[in-house]
Structures are given as structure tokens and as C-alpha cells.
């Protein structure tokens, strides 16, 4: 069915060529080791021929006890673990954790740190969406966008390596500031990336968005209605493609996101094609935010001047007694927050990512809870795949954009 604008809206199934055969249902095990499950996910599918009648997902194959370990580490020591849970969005997780810990400590960060964190979060969003793009294209059959998106990722890796020393698992933030300030000339590299990246988006767009195979494999597949999606606790591009404009950056802002000029793309039908369009548009909007952040980066210190949480500079720690004591206490014991709890949520590329801290006044948290967006998003997959074909299961799974590290923690 084609609308007035020439855009394909629905596809009709071709006429049945074979007589209806009575058959029994088949039990198929997809995973946990599978190229297209985006990690170690196991889906048990009941198939009637090629059509999925029921889907039972099994997770936990990457459960590594993150939340348990968090109770045995000081707050700054937990930050490397936040890299590894959603490993596609490492800088974003680092920022989210630092925001939560700073609220727990009652510490306000500097203006320069605020803008640098916005840059980190948006670079992280671009990185994550690029992996999603590359792997989704491979799953549906297009290999080249994978190479293009990883080439762009390499450019971001170079920027992050210049900043903090690591490519993927960055450990970018500390409670009260950042691990390091950006080096000289780094902003030129960022501006260069921001200037040339839209060309890659446009190239992938030209190749994929109106491609007959792509459209045929993604339109009408795996749709969720808006109210169902809200009730299921979905978030991120998955929820926005179903028509609900919930974005944590707009509705519960942090890091001065309300002062940036950007749009939040919202879909209509919630199918795989809409999710694809929403994420492609988010890439463009992230570039917009990066341009604004690059323009407004203020000078000044990047770490807050609070000796309770931030290590004093080495020159002072080795010469002044007070700084030496602060350094000693922070390294040996760790910064102590007041008794309390807080929950801070950010908009990660997967959805509403939250960290819930409970503190009893000791340097190690009593409870560190990760609210995993992919976990809740994936729990809706049985509803999304019912009635679709086996190859659609792969497309739907790719469109949810899951990271097993975050799901299983």
C-alpha cells in the first residue's frame, strides 16, 4: 500500500502458493551462542512452520555480579565496572554514575565539567548507535554499513584515547569531576568529527533507508502500541518509536540539557522501520548538541574544589600536611557520603538508565542498583515476535538494541 507521498506504508503478503498443510509445532533454540542475538541471549521459539507462535527468552548467561561487587568497592573504584556493563555506552555510564554519586555526596560540579560531560554523553550516544547500526545492517543482510560505522567509531576512539587514554572502557569520570581534562587541540578534533560525521549518516541513509529489501524486511514488523509500551516499562528509542515522547533529557533534565536546542524524534507505528528512523535522527540530533556544547565550553577547573571527594594535586599532597591527610584518607578509605539514598536516571542510547545508591555513611555503598533499560526492553520481546516469521525475530531483536552486559549485569 502506497500513500500519496509515494511512501510505502503496509505490505501485503504475496498470495499463498502452497496448500495449507496440517503440521505440528517445532521447538527451536536460538542461542546462547548465535551471531545475531547481540550477545549471549537464548530464545526458545515455538514455530508453526516459519511463523513464531511463542517465544520464551532466557537471560543470565552474562551475569557477573556487578551489583554485588559494588558493595565491596569505594565509589571511585566502582566506575570501571560501570564501563563494562553497557560497554557500548561506557562514557555515558561513567557520567550517569558520577551524577548519582555526586547527588549522594551533595557535591555540585563545575560548569566546565558539566559541558564536558554533555560532550561525553553525546559521543557515547553516537558510538552506541553506530554499533547498533552496523550490527542491525549485518543481521538484516547489509554488510557495508558495518564497516562504515566502525570506521566512524575508530575516529571517536581516537578522540577518547587522547582524552582519557582508553578506547572502549573509558572510566572517564570521577566523583566530583573528570579523570582528566581534555588536552590542547582536542576540541579541533571534535569539531572535525562533527563536521564530517553527517556525511557518513547521509551515505548510510542513501544506501539503506529507501532500499526495497530493507523496507520490505522492517515495515510492519514487531510493532508495539504506545500505551502497551509505557505499561511494559520500555524506554529510549524503542518507546519513542511507538509514539511516546518520553526522553529523560527533556522530562527530567540533568547537565543543563534544557538549555540545549535539540529535538527528540518520535515515531508512529513502533515497528522496526520506525525504530531505525528514530535512531538515525538521534544521530543527527546528537551532532547538533555536540556543536552547541563545543561552542559553549567554558574555561576553568574541571574538578570541584572539594577535598572530601577530589584528590588534591600531587604537588600539594607532597608538600602540605592537610592535603597529604586528605589524599591518605581518600585513597585508603575512600570518600564518605552522608547517610541516604538517591536515584539518578539519564537517557542512555538504550533508554532510561538509572543508578540507585543507598549509603550508610561508609565509603562503600550498601546497595548499588543498576536500572537496566535493555533488560526491561527485552522482556517485551515475546509480544513483539508473536505471529512473525523466524527471520523477523532477528530483525526485531536487532531493533530493540540490547546489550547483554547491561541485561545480565
Least distance in angstroms from the C-beta of 318 to other proteins: 23
Containing H/E element for 191?
helix 186-208
Least Å from the CB of residue 175 to other proteins: 15
**Comparison of 227 and 313: residue with beta carbon closer to other proteins:** 227
| Shorter beta-carbon distance to other proteins: residue 197 or 375 | 375
Close Cβ partners of 154 (under 8 Å, ≥ 6 residues apart): none
Of 150 and 262, which has the nearer Cβ to other proteins? Answer: 150
CA distances from 112 to 257, 294, 300 (A): 14, 11, 6
Q: Which is nearer to other proteins, 259 or 318 (CB)?
A: 259
- For 379, the 3-state DSSP assignment is coil
Categorise residue 270: left if φ over 0, alpha if ψ from -120 to 50, beta otherwise. Answer: left
Tell me if 384 sits within 8 A of 38, measured CB to CB: no
Asked if 84 and 240 touch (Cβ cutoff 8 Å), the reply is: no
Q: How far apart are CA 327 and CA 217, in angstroms?
A: 58
> CA separation (Å) from 141 to 2, 50, 115, 212, 394?
25, 19, 39, 12, 11
Rounded CA Rg of the chain: 23
Q: How far is the CB of 260 from other proteins (least distance, A)?
A: 11
Query: Which of 48, 322 has the CB closer to other proteins?
Result: 48
Block residue for cell numbers 538521534: 282
Cell digits for 304?
A: 570541584
Q: How far is the CB of 158 from other proteins (least distance, A)?
A: 10
Residue 214 or 260: the one with the smaller Cβ distance to other proteins is 260
Shortest Å, Cβ 365 to other proteins: 9
Report, in Å, the least distance between residue 185 CB and other proteins: 22
Pull the grid cell for residue 199: 556525511
Q: What is the largest CA-CA distance in the chain?
A: 88
Residues in the chain: 409
Q: Could you give the CA distance from residue 191 to residue 182 in angstroms, rounded to a whole number?
A: 14
Q: Rank residues 186 and 343 by Cβ distance to other proteins and give the closer one.
A: 343
Q: How far is the CB of 17 from other proteins (least distance, A)?
A: 25
By C-beta, is 50 or 108 nearer to other proteins?
108
We find the least distance from the C-beta atom of residue 53 to other proteins, in angstroms, to be 8
Is 279:237 a contact under the CB 8 Å cutoff? yes
- Nearest approach, Cβ of residue 102 and other proteins (Å): 10
Taking the C-alpha atoms of residue 101 and residue 338, their distance in angstroms, rounded to an integer, is 11
Question: Which lies closer to other proteins via its Cβ, residue 251 or residue 320?
Answer: 251
Amino acid at each position: 500500500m502506497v500513500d500519496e507521498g509515494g511512501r510505502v506504508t503496509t505490505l501485503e503478503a504475496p498470495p499463498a502458493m502452497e496448500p495449507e498443510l496440517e503440521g505440528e509445532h517445532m521447538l527451536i533454540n536460538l542461542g546462547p551462542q548465535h551471531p545475531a542475538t547481540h550477545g549471549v541471549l537464548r530464545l526458545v521459539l515455538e514455530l508453526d512452520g516459519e511463523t513464531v507462535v511463542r517465544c520464551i527468552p532466557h537471560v543470565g548467561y552474562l551475569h557477573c555480579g556487578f551489583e554485588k561487587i559494588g558493595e565491596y568497592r569505594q565509589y571511585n573504584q566502582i566506575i570501571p565496572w560501570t564501563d563494562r556493563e553497557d560497554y557500548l555506552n561506557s562514557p555515558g555510564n561513567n557520567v550517569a554514575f558520577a551524577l548519582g554519586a555526586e547527588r549522594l555526596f551533595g557535591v555540585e560540579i563545575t560548569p566546565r565539567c558539566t559541558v564536558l560531560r554533555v560532550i561525553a554523553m553525546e559521543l557515547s550516544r553516537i558510538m552506541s548507535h553506530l554499533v547498533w547500526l552496523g550490527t542491525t545492517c549485518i543481521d538484516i543482510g547489509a554488510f557495508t554499513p558495518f564497516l562504515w560505522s566502525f570506521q566512524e567509531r575508530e575516529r571517536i576512539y581516537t578522540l577518547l584515547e587522547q582524552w582519557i587514554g582508553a578506547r572502549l572502557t573509558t572510566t572517564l569520570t570521577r566523583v566530583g569531576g573528570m579523570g582528566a581534562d581534555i588536552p590542547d587541540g582536542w576540541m579541533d578534533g571534535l569539531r572535525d568529527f562533527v563536521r564530517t560525521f553527517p556525511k557518513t549518516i547521509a551515505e548510510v541513509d542513501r544506501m539503506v533507508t529507501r532500499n526495497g529489501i530493507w523496507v520490505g524486511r522492517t515495515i510492519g514488523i514487531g510493532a508495539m502500541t504506545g500505551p502497551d509500551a509505557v505499561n511494559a516499562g520500555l524506554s529510549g528509542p524503542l518507546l519513542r518509536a511507538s509514539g511516546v515522547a518520553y526522553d529523560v533529557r527533556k522530562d527530567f533534565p540533568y547537565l543543563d540539557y534544557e538549555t540545549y536546542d535539540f529535538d527528540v524524534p518520535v515515531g508512529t507505528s513502533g515497528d522496526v522501520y520506525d525504530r531505525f528512523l528514530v535512531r538515525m535522527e538521534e544521530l543527527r540530533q546528537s551532532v547538533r548538541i555536540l556543536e552547541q556544547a563545543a561552542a559553549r565550553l567554558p574555561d576553568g577547573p574541571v574538578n570541584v574544589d572539594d577535598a572530601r571527594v577530589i584528590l588534591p594535586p600531587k604537588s600539594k599532597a607532597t608538600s602540605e600536611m592537610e592535603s597529604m591527610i586528605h589524599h591518605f584518607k581518600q585513597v585508603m578509605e575512600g570518600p564518605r557520603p552522608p547517610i541516604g539514598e538517591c536515584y539518578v536516571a539519564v537517557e542512555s542510547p538504550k533508554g532510561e538508565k538509572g543508578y540507585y545508591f543507598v549509603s550508610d555513611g561508609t565509603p562503600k555503598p550498601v546497595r548499588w542498583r543498576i536500572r537496566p533499560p535493555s533488560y526491561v526492553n527485552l522482556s517485551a520481546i515475546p509480544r513483539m515476535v508473536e505471529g512473525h516469521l523466524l527471520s523477523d525475530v532477528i530483525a526485531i531483536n536487532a531493533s530493540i538494541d540490547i546489550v547483554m552486559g547491561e541485561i545480565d549485569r
